[in-house]
A and B are shown apart, each in its own frame.
Chain A
Amino acid sequence: MTAPTRSSKKRKQDDEDEALVASNNINIEMQSDEEEGEEIESDDGGVDEFPEIDAGSDEDSEEDWGNGSDEEESDDEEDGANGEGSDDNSQEDLHIFPTAKTIVSDITGQEKRVYPEIEPEYDSDSSTEDTPNRVGDIPMHWYDDLPHVGYDMDGQRVLKPARGDELDRFLNTVEDPTSWTSAFDKKAQADKPLTAEELDIIRRLYANENPDANYDPYEPLTEWFTGKGKEEIMPLTAAPEPKRRWVPSKWEHKKVMKIVRAIRQGRILPNKTKTTSQPQFYAIWNDSSVSHAPPLPAPKPPLPTNSESYNPPEEYLPSEEEKQQWKEMDPEDRERDYLPQKYSALRLVPGYDRFIKDRFNRQLDLYMAPRVQRVKLNIDPNSLIPKLPSPASLKPFPNYKSLRVIHQSMARCVSVSPDGAWVVSGDESGFVGLWEVNVGREVKKWKFNGKIGSIEWCPRTDVTYFVVGTEDMLHFLIPPNLPPSVLQLTQSILAPSTLPPAPEIPSPVKWSTPSSDSWTDETAILTVHLPPSSGLTTQLTWHRRGDYLASVSIGASQGAVWIHQVSRRHSQAPFRKVRGKVQLVLFHPMKPYFFVATQQYVRMYNLSEQKLLKTLQPGIKWISSMDVHPSGDHLIVGGYDRKLCWFDLELSDKPYKVLRYHTRAIRSLHFHPTYPLFASSSDDGVIQIFHARVYNDLMTDPLIVPLKILRGHEITKGLGVLQIKWCNRRPWLISGGADGTVNVWCS
């Protein structure tokens, strides 16, 4: 109990000195720790580490503990320094070192420590030991270039100990097995063998292991939170849930409301349009990235050829003339931009003078290369063409011009007799010619006033006559050289001796026959006078029985269409009012139907029931021609806008097929009465022949095959082939053109 008080007193007395001493001591001790090593350390450590060994000083130790860890060191030193009192004994027992006594010096009058004399024992003799140099804690490299390593206590130089020469060192390595595990200690100026621990550390560092020998990388994992029964038993923190977790933040609320107000007042524009003013550049030849399409493969530079070799075979070398020629050529015209040259060895090859240019051209190639990779559709163009039978298998069809009959002016209309032997053709100067199909010799000629607008042969086979439509009039003519029986019958039909009774309602159309005395071959046996100013009769069409004849005139807007009945010598206008201007009319070949084509529509009427059946919409701006298939189920309509529409009458109001192959307006169309053929003629002076097979089977579509283009008509005044007619019973075609020729095309 006394000791602590004393010590505390002393502490109060020599506060400053002790502090200094303590600091000195510490420094010294630290030095000694480093330099001297184990002896001191082990001693001190023994005291520090094992305080419980001191059995007699329980209290003391307790008090030491109670003073706190901060003052422990100073206590120890004080203990050492004081070294007096009852406690000293106990401490002396422990301390091996001689304890110093502090005495007042006689000379200076100052306190000084006096150590007891060392009794020379066996142990105390240190003469055999190496004296460690005591140069102090200085950087040893100061003395690297000097013979000494520092100064001792007396100011004398401490010389570097003699180092053995290389031979000694070598011998050392041979003889001393520990020499390779020793290292030069600069402070000691000697080789020190490394301890086993140090070697172990070196080995671990060398093996990339943790240098701490006690470290176990494969420690078993302590499972605190996982495993059965331990789930969330132990929260990470025991703190209660903070309030902010469940109370909405007022600050955030304010912030949001501020934004909302700003949006309401229009200070913030939501969904502002993103303007990417900066174009996005990227390296197209580089690696792919997410933001843009995969890069195009760079165009490959051409591979070097044999002639580019430094030592090409002889055949690649140009001759002198070729060289000269190459030099004279324009660089752009040269087949290759170098001259093959031969060197006997690679080392003779000069520097490549065109390197920069080549690189530049390569960059230019890359720069100019297409940026878009064109995906080529690998479609054989031939496979897109529909499979059509070859025209050779669809013979016969007309394929050459057999005859040419020349008119003075435009041959506007032609017609073929029902037996296919005779043709009548009319032209604009009023001439009608009758000629045989096979020879083309004009047998008879009639002259009328004004243009011939249309001409049509009566389809009856027992009588023979034809009708010529001119301005406001229809003329019925009988060809010459008829058998008497046919002639008689024809005459009796056209000019019966007893005229049929006149209709109740007087018709504006007048039928007139000259008296039988004045009948000649030159004049018409019957003339029908249409109402005045009805204009040129542009179309005549017969009913298949040959009794009804329909005529279309261009002049009259209303009443342009008349249906004439020859046996009753009566004409009637089938339509009281027609919307649009009638272009063409046609009788259905089987049924009592009547087709009327206005400029854009084709209407189909039932004549017996007197009602409109359907309106066909060809989609043509101006219909120019129309013909009905002999089966009556199909209709073709041609227009001035080059289109040809094929209608399946049972199918739809819309065309089954629209063909556009003529380069100018279509003028005329005609189905062959017996052969599966139809032809179209156009203002481009061309006639096109088609194979058109129609099946009775409703499921099979009609087969249309283009067969032949007949050229031979010349275009005059912008008009080409004005009318075409098939020859009955033969696959021959008669065409009348604006150039005044009527051609026969034979198979």
Chain B
Amino acid sequence: MASSTASCSVIFTTQTPYPLPTQKYMIPSIWKRFHLSQLINKALALTKPIPFDFLVKGELLRTSLGEWCAENGVGEEETLELEYIESVMPPQKMSDIPHEDWVSSVSCQLKSLSHFITASYDGTVRLFDYSQKLVFNTSAHAAPITSLCMIPEPQSTIEIDESSHLIATSSHDLTAQITRISLPSDATSKPQSEPLARLHLHTAPVSSIASNSSGNHLLTSSWDTLIGLWDTTVPTTDEVAELPINERERKKRRKLNGGTGGSVVKRKAPTMVLKSHTARVSRVVFGISDNEDKAYSCGFDSTVRIWDIENGVCTRTITSSEKPFLDIALNSDGHTALAASTDRTVTLYDVREATSSTTSSGSLLHSTTPSFFTGAYDGVVRLWDLRSMKSAITSFKAWSDMKKVLSIDWKRGMVGVGGEGGFEVWKAVEDIRS
């Protein structure tokens, strides 16, 4: 048969630690990924076989080489450059934890490996361990919680306590809150939570909260176009005066508080207010590694803004047309940012300073984390590779019947998915960032 004898000339390249010598190979065009992977394993004489995936011109090879050539109109004479990457196993569901209400935010970043923390629309923060058991829940807000983040505790200030966690939550009730949760190691004593401070700035629901890696600063973004910068020290007195409320309100408040007038959560004021957005700010994050002094925010005014935190000014604005952004995530090198918008796209932006920016493609290919997860309102979580943007590498459906995915956290090979159907943990590839 003619087709079996047809062959393609191929050069293999890779970023993985398993390089092949640069050489032209004649590969039968009916070969698929499996054959190619076997070839590389044999050529390298690897003791433990490693499955590889192959990228041809920025596209994951899913068919045979000949079919790909026919589809893309590549002649047999041309030499194909195949980049091979270690293939990603499809994620596997580990646990499914149903919630009473929608889960708005999840975090897998706890110091102890075995716990997940979720924030829900009923205003409750819940702590789970691996065995799907509810370890602890506390009602942090009266209104729905929109976002939650862990505050890494500065090593110097507080004694090392594995069982104590500091979390920050933002809510529809216009405030954010810092809460300490202490999980005693012995089973006899109950876990306790203690609200430390309430962050008062915004006049609209707070959409997100983020902490820097050292844990001494917080950023909140809100629907009222403001971004607040806070430090994490617990105030001893109310920094913000309570608004003068009218007679009826005070009466009501007094009635509500009743006898528990003692432990009132202290009201805390922001250290700085970042003001530049013209519409709702949907997410703000701190810079990574050497960009700790920067903040990145995106909003419904179709802009991604980069802030100098120390001076409190917007240093750069990336404007796109009619893309209300919902979320932003930074790449591990901090040079690029992915922004998701309501037009069902995720866009990659180069967020370096305009002066230092070169062509972005070079840095992109050498970046160490070329993959990311997205969750959507159709209930599907997809894993993407930046080098193969045409379709997702793999995807899984968190819940049936179109339940929305509202939050994703990916840490240590675990993907926590929170949303309309509750909370789910999926086992996935290792996050290279950690």
- In the complex, the answer to whether B248 meets A441 with C-beta atoms within 8 Å is no
B348 smallest CB distance to A (angstroms)? 21
- In the complex, the answer to whether B144 meets A484 with C-beta atoms within 8 Å is no
Chain A interface size, under 10 / 10 to 19 / 20 to 34 / 35 or more: 20 to 34
Q: Contacts A403-B377, A747-B342, A747-B343; is A517 near B248 (CB within 8 Å)?
A: yes
A523 smallest CB distance to B (angstroms)? 14
- In the complex, the answer to whether A516 meets B173 with C-beta atoms within 8 Å is no
Residue of B whose beta carbon sits closest to that of A520: B252
Q: Contacts A488-B245, A746-B343; is A481 near B300 (CB within 8 Å)?
A: no
CB contact list, B400-422 vs A, under 8 A: 402, 404, 406
- In the complex, the answer to whether B246 meets A488 with C-beta atoms within 8 Å is yes
B326: contacting residue among A396, A400, A438, A519, CB under 8 A: A438
Task: Give the residues in chain B near A730, CB-CB below 8 Å.
Answer: 300, 324
Q: Contacts A402-B377, A441-B121, A481-B172; is A731 near B143 (CB within 8 Å)?
A: no
A486: contacting residue among B144, B203, B223, CB under 8 A: B203
Q: Does B116 reach chain A (CB closer than 8 Å)? A: no
Task: Give the residues in chain B near A396, CB-CB below 8 Å.
Answer: 322, 343
A360 smallest CB distance to B (angstroms)? 55
Q: Does A485 reach chain B (CB closer than 8 Å)? A: yes
Task: Give the residues in chain A near B343, CB-CB below 8 Å.
Answer: 396, 746-747
Task: Give the residues in chain A near B252, CB-CB below 8 Å.
Answer: 517, 519
Task: Give the residues in chain B near A580, CB-CB below 8 Å.
Answer: none
CB contact list, A720-747 vs B, under 8 A: 729-731, 746-747
Q: Does A614 reach chain B (CB closer than 8 Å)? A: no
B143: contacting residue among A395, A404, A480, A491, CB under 8 A: A480
A441: contacting residue among B144, B246, B280, B342, CB under 8 A: B144
Distance in angstroms between the alpha carbons of A516 and B245 in the assembled complex: 14
- In the complex, the answer to whether B377 meets A441 with C-beta atoms within 8 Å is no
Distance in angstroms between the alpha carbons of A484 and B248 in the assembled complex: 13
Task: Give the residues in chain A near B279, CB-CB below 8 Å.
Answer: 729
| Binary A-proximity of B74-102 (CB < 8 A = 1, otherwise 0) | 00000000000000000000000000001
B238 smallest CB distance to A (angstroms)? 15
A353 smallest CB distance to B (angstroms)? 51
Distance in angstroms between the alpha carbons of A486 and B121 in the assembled complex: 23
Q: Does B205 reach chain A (CB closer than 8 Å)? A: yes
Residue of A whose beta carbon sits closest to that of B223: A421
- In the complex, the answer to whether B205 meets A481 with C-beta atoms within 8 Å is yes
The secondary structure that dominates the B interface is loop
Residue of B whose beta carbon sits closest to that of A516: B248
A553 smallest CB distance to B (angstroms)? 33
Task: Give the residues in chain A near B404, CB-CB below 8 Å.
Answer: 403, 439-440
Task: Give the residues in chain A near B243, CB-CB below 8 Å.
Answer: 484-485
- In the complex, the answer to whether A400 meets B245 with C-beta atoms within 8 Å is no
- In the complex, the answer to whether A731 meets B121 with C-beta atoms within 8 Å is no
Residue of A whose beta carbon sits closest to that of B343: A747
A746 smallest CB distance to B (angstroms)? 5
Q: Does A483 reach chain B (CB closer than 8 Å)? A: yes
Q: Does B174 reach chain A (CB closer than 8 Å)? A: yes
Residue of B whose beta carbon sits closest to that of A399: B343
| Binary A-proximity of B298-336 (CB < 8 A = 1, otherwise 0) | 001000000000000000000000101010000000000
A123 smallest CB distance to B (angstroms)? 131
- In the complex, the answer to whether A483 meets B143 with C-beta atoms within 8 Å is no
B interface residues, how many (CB within 8 angstroms): 32
Q: Does B204 reach chain A (CB closer than 8 Å)? A: yes
Residue of A whose beta carbon sits closest to that of B224: A483
Distance in angstroms between the alpha carbons of A483 and B404 in the assembled complex: 29
B169 smallest CB distance to A (angstroms)? 15
Task: Give the residues in chain A near B280, CB-CB below 8 Å.
Answer: 421
- In the complex, the answer to whether B342 meets A483 with C-beta atoms within 8 Å is no
Task: Give the residues in chain A near B300, CB-CB below 8 Å.
Answer: 730
- In the complex, the answer to whether A481 meets B174 with C-beta atoms within 8 Å is yes
Distance in angstroms between the alpha carbons of A440 and B324 in the assembled complex: 16
| Binary B-proximity of A378-410 (CB < 8 A = 1, otherwise 0) | 000000000000000001100010111000000
A400: contacting residue among B203, B204, B344, CB under 8 A: B344
Task: Give the residues in chain B near A485, CB-CB below 8 Å.
Answer: 203, 243
- In the complex, the answer to whether A439 meets B406 with C-beta atoms within 8 Å is yes
- In the complex, the answer to whether A441 meets B324 with C-beta atoms within 8 Å is no
B224 smallest CB distance to A (angstroms)? 9
Distance in angstroms between the alpha carbons of A483 and B299 in the assembled complex: 21
- In the complex, the answer to whether B342 meets A746 with C-beta atoms within 8 Å is yes
Residue of A whose beta carbon sits closest to that of B171: A481
CB contact list, B167-190 vs A, under 8 A: 172-174
A483: contacting residue among B104, B144, B174, CB under 8 A: B174
Task: Give the residues in chain A near B251, CB-CB below 8 Å.
Answer: 517
Task: Give the residues in chain A near B144, CB-CB below 8 Å.
Answer: 441, 443
Task: Give the residues in chain B near A746, CB-CB below 8 Å.
Answer: 342-343
CB contact list, A39-91 vs B, under 8 A: none
Residue of A whose beta carbon sits closest to that of B248: A516
Residue of B whose beta carbon sits closest to that of A442: B121
- In the complex, the answer to whether A747 meets B322 with C-beta atoms within 8 Å is yes
Choose among A441, A488, A747 the residue with the greatest number of B CB atoms under 10 Å from its CB: A441
Task: Give the residues in chain A near B377, CB-CB below 8 Å.
Answer: 402-403
Residue of B whose beta carbon sits closest to that of A492: B246
Distance in angstroms between the alpha carbons of A501 and B421 in the assembled complex: 54
CB contact list, B248-265 vs A, under 8 A: 248-249, 251-252
- In the complex, the answer to whether A483 meets B204 with C-beta atoms within 8 Å is yes
Task: Give the residues in chain B near A483, CB-CB below 8 Å.
Answer: 174, 203-204
Task: Give the residues in chain A near B324, CB-CB below 8 Å.
Answer: 730
Distance in angstroms between the alpha carbons of A729 and B302 in the assembled complex: 12
- In the complex, the answer to whether A443 meets B204 with C-beta atoms within 8 Å is no
Distance in angstroms between the alpha carbons of A400 and B377 in the assembled complex: 12
Residue of B whose beta carbon sits closest to that of A730: B324
Choose among A395, A404, A421, A481 the residue with the greatest number of B CB atoms under 10 Å from its CB: A481
Distance in angstroms between the alpha carbons of A421 and B206 in the assembled complex: 13
- In the complex, the answer to whether A395 meets B121 with C-beta atoms within 8 Å is no
Task: Give the residues in chain A near B246, CB-CB below 8 Å.
Answer: 488, 491
Distance in angstroms between the alpha carbons of A436 and B144 in the assembled complex: 11
Residue of A whose beta carbon sits closest to that of B301: A729
Task: Give the residues in chain B near A729, CB-CB below 8 Å.
Answer: 279
CB contact list, A472-517 vs B, under 8 A: 480-481, 483-486, 488, 491, 516-517
Distance in angstroms between the alpha carbons of A438 and B406 in the assembled complex: 11
A137 smallest CB distance to B (angstroms)? 116
| Binary B-proximity of A419-453 (CB < 8 A = 1, otherwise 0) | 10100000000000000101111010000000000
A443: contacting residue among B172, B326, B402, CB under 8 A: B172
Distance in angstroms between the alpha carbons of A686 and B174 in the assembled complex: 38
Distance in angstroms between the alpha carbons of A419 and B300 in the assembled complex: 12
Distance in angstroms between the alpha carbons of A438 and B203 in the assembled complex: 18
B106 smallest CB distance to A (angstroms)? 15
Distance in angstroms between the alpha carbons of A554 and B234 in the assembled complex: 59
Residue of B whose beta carbon sits closest to that of A495: B248
Distance in angstroms between the alpha carbons of A419 and B224 in the assembled complex: 10
Task: Give the residues in chain B near A488, CB-CB below 8 Å.
Answer: 245-246, 249
Distance in angstroms between the alpha carbons of A710 and B406 in the assembled complex: 25
Distance in angstroms between the alpha carbons of A516 and B249 in the assembled complex: 9
Task: Give the residues in chain A near B121, CB-CB below 8 Å.
Answer: 441, 443
15 contacts between A and B (CB under 8 A): A396-B322, A403-B377, A403-B404, A419-B223, A421-B204, A436-B205, A439-B104, A480-B143, A485-B203, A488-B249, A491-B246, A519-B252, A730-B300, A746-B342, A747-B322
List 5 tightest A-B contacts by C-beta distance, closest first. Answer: A516-B248, A483-B203, A396-B322, A484-B243, A481-B172
B interface residues with partner A (beta carbon < 8 Å) = 102, 104, 121, 143-144, 172-174, 203-205, 223, 243, 245-246, 248-249, 251-252, 279-280, 300, 322, 324, 326, 342-344, 377, 402, 404, 406
A interface residues with partner B (beta carbon < 8 Å) = 395-396, 400, 402-404, 419, 421, 436, 438-441, 443, 480-481, 483-486, 488, 491, 516-517, 519, 729-731, 746-747
Extra contacts besides A441-B102, A481-B143, A746-B343 (17): CB < 8 Å:
A396-B343, A403-B404, A404-B402, A421-B280, A438-B342, A439-B104, A441-B104, A441-B121, A443-B121, A443-B143, A481-B173, A484-B245, A516-B248, A517-B248, A731-B322, A746-B342, A747-B343
